[in-house]
Every structure is written in structure tokens, then in C-alpha cells.
């Protein structure tokens, strides 16, 4: 099935379940999904019930849309996302972002768990993404351009909208929520990086590494959606500490950082978006 038809069918499916019109999209990363439980008058749509839709295969990721309000804002949240390492092509795994756009989303918050490359970041801290390095080896805009969303060669000079970043920094500061900032680099995964790869990432200017977010951010910018990215630094990246990395630790640390994360999200909803 063509991507365009799949997007349109998914939009129709969701609009057949609810006439709620979201303005803000939120993608919840590993261990961060429970924010969606705070939405008022929620409508749940399981990915598995949507014809042709991908399914999330990762532990710590649920696999559904939750539509509802929080602080008077109309939100569509993804509880669980898709990753390149699951074997999905990047145009397919980012398809929900285009669905959100067609449902009316103008602003998107992308969250993830990431390994800290910048050694000054404490484990469990939150990082505002200032920019990214696409080291996934692919681009979600490969293939025929979907002109209805954006141009063939979209500008990527301001992926994580500068205005919103300035506002977020000030608002987090005012709320007393510590917020690091830096460059996020995607590695394809699913194996964690080697210590040499992390030294390379640092040399190239990365502050954090992860396996998501970049394809979604590219597709969102292509479609003219404004983006904020927040990483939870769930571990120091490979080789920094003398200990192996595990997904269980990643999920546990992000779950512990959850209160700060929710506080930051509320600041974003109230003062930034």
C-alpha cells in the first residue's frame, strides 16, 4: 500500500473513533509513557487495531494513541513509538507524525531516553535537544516526495525551533527544573554503541546518543510542524563508566526521572507551546 493511502486511511480511522481535534503531538519514549495516563477524557486507539499500522515491539513501549486534554491543551500522545532497528523503513515508522499533521497538529514534543556523551550530564537529568546528527544511515524522506506535506529539499537549519527553545530554557529555569542542552546523535542500534563509537560521537559534537527521534523530527520539519525535543539521560554512554549497558536500567532510570519529566512537560504545555 502506498504511504499516502496508509496515512489517509489512518486519519480516517481515527476521525471515525473521535471528533477530538488535537493541536499538540507528544511522542513518549522508553519509560516515559505514563504521561499519557494524565490526559483528561482520554480516547485510546491501539496501534494494533488500525489497519496497516506498524506495531511496537519494544519492552517499555505500549503501543497506542491517547487523545485528550491537559492544562486546556488538546493533545494526541503516542504511548510507544517505532524504531529503525525494529526493521521498519523510516518513511513507515514516521508515518504517525504525518497522521498527526493531518489531524491538525502544529507543534510536536519528541521525547526519548538517551545515553549521555557529555560527561558533565548527571544520569537521570533532562536535556533539551538543540540540534541533531542523523547517523542512522538513512533519511525518512527517501523516495517520492509527498508534496502535500512539504518540499523535496526541506531546510533543516532550525529543526528544534529556536523560539521554543529560548522559551523552554527560561520557563524551566523559572520553574526550578534543571535542564541540560545539547546535540542528539542517532545510531541505528539495536546494539548499544562501542566505546570507540562514543568517542567518535563526542568528537563530532554530540552530547547524547539514542536510537530514535531524528527521523520523526525530519518528517515533522518537512511538514512545517514546530518541534521540541527532550532526552532523559538514562545512562552514561558506552565506555564512560566501567559497566555494561542494559535496557532494564534505561527504563528504570527514566521511570525515576519521571516526576521531573512530567513537571517539564507541564511547563511546555503552559508556557512554551
Q: Which residues are catalytic?
A: 30, 61, 83, 85-86, 113, 211-212, 235, 247
Q: Give the nearest distance from C-beta 217 to ligand HPA in angstroms.
A: 16
Q: Is 250 in the site for ligand HPA (CB under 6 A)?
A: yes
Of residues 26, 129, 209, 257, which one binds ligand HPA by CB under 6 A? 209
Output the DSSP codes for 217-255. Answer: HHHHHHTT-EEEEEEEEEEEPTTTSSS---HHHHHHHHH
Task: Name the H helices within the chain.
Answer: 3-17, 90-93, 95-103, 162-175, 195-203, 214-222, 247-256, 258-267
For residues 115 and 132, give the distance between their C-alpha atoms in angstroms, rounded to a whole number.
14
For residues 7 and 155, give the distance between their C-alpha atoms in angstroms, rounded to a whole number.
23
User: Residue 126 CB: number of other CB atoms within 10 A?
Assistant: 21
Of residues 115, 140, 150, 215, which one binds ligand HPA by CB under 6 A? 115
- Part in contact with ligand HPA (CB under 6 A); list of ranges 2-10, 75-83, 229-237, 256-264: 229-237
Q: Give the nearest distance from C-beta 135 to ligand HPA in angstroms.
A: 11
For residue 95, whether the previous peptide bond is cis, meaning omega lies within 30 degrees of 0, is: no
Q: Is 217 in the site for ligand HPA (CB under 6 A)?
A: no
Of residues 150, 210, 215, 229, which one binds ligand HPA by CB under 6 A? 210
Q: Is 213 in the site for ligand HPA (CB under 6 A)?
A: no
- Part in contact with ligand HPA (CB under 6 A); list of ranges 4-12, 58-66, 142-150, 231-239: 231-239
SS3 of 84, please?
Answer: helix
Binding site for ligand HPA (CB under 6 A): 113-115, 187, 192-193, 209-211, 234-235, 237, 245, 250
Amino acid at each position: 500500500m502506498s504511504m499516502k493511502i496508509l496515512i489517509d486511511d489512518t486519519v480516517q480511522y481515527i476521525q471515525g473513533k473521535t471528533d477530538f481535534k488535537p493541536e499538540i503531538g507528544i511522542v513518549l519514549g522508553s519509560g516515559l509513557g505514563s504521561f499519557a495516563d494524565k490526559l483528561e477524557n482520554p480516547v485510546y486507539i491501539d496501534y494494533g487495531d488500525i489497519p496497516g499500522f506498524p506495531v511496537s515491539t519494544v519492552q517499555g513501549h505500549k503501543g497506542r494513541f491517547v487523545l485528550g486534554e491537559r492544562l486546556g491543551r488538546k493533545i494526541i500522545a503516542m504511548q510507544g513509538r517505532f524504531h529503525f532497528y525494529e526493521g521498519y523503513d523510516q518513511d513507515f515508522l514516521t508515518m504517525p507524525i504525518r497522521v498527526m499533521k493531518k489531524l491538525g497538529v502544529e507543534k510536536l514534543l519528541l521525547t526519548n531516553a538517551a545515553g549521555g556523551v557529555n560527561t558533565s550530564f548527571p544520569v537521570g537529568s533532562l536535556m533539551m535537544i538543540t540540534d541533531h546528527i542523523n547517523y542512522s544511515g538513512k533519511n525518512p524522506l527517501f523516495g517520492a516526495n509527498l508534496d502535500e506535506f512539504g518540499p523535496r529539499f526541506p531546510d533543516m537549519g532550525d529543526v528544534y525551533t529556536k523560539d521554543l527553545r529560548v522559551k523552554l530554557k527560561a520557563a524551566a529555569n523559572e520553574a526550578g527544573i534543571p535542564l541540560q542542552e545539547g546535540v542528539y546523535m542517532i545510531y541505528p542500534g539495536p546494539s548499544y554503541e562501542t566505546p570507540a563509537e562514543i568517542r567518535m560521537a563526542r568528537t563530532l559534537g554530540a552530547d547524547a546518543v539514542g536510537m530514535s527521534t531524528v527521523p520523526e523530527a525530519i518528517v515533522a520539519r518537512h511538514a512545517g510542524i514546530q518541534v521540541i525535543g527532550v532526552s532523559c539521560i538514562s545512562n552514561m554512554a558506552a565506555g564512560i563508566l566501567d559497566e555494561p549497558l542494559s535496557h532494564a536500567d534505561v527504563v528504570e532510570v527514566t521511570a525515576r526521572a519521571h516526576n521531573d519529566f512530567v513537571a517539564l512537560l507541564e511547563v511546555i504545555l503552559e508556557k512554551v507551546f
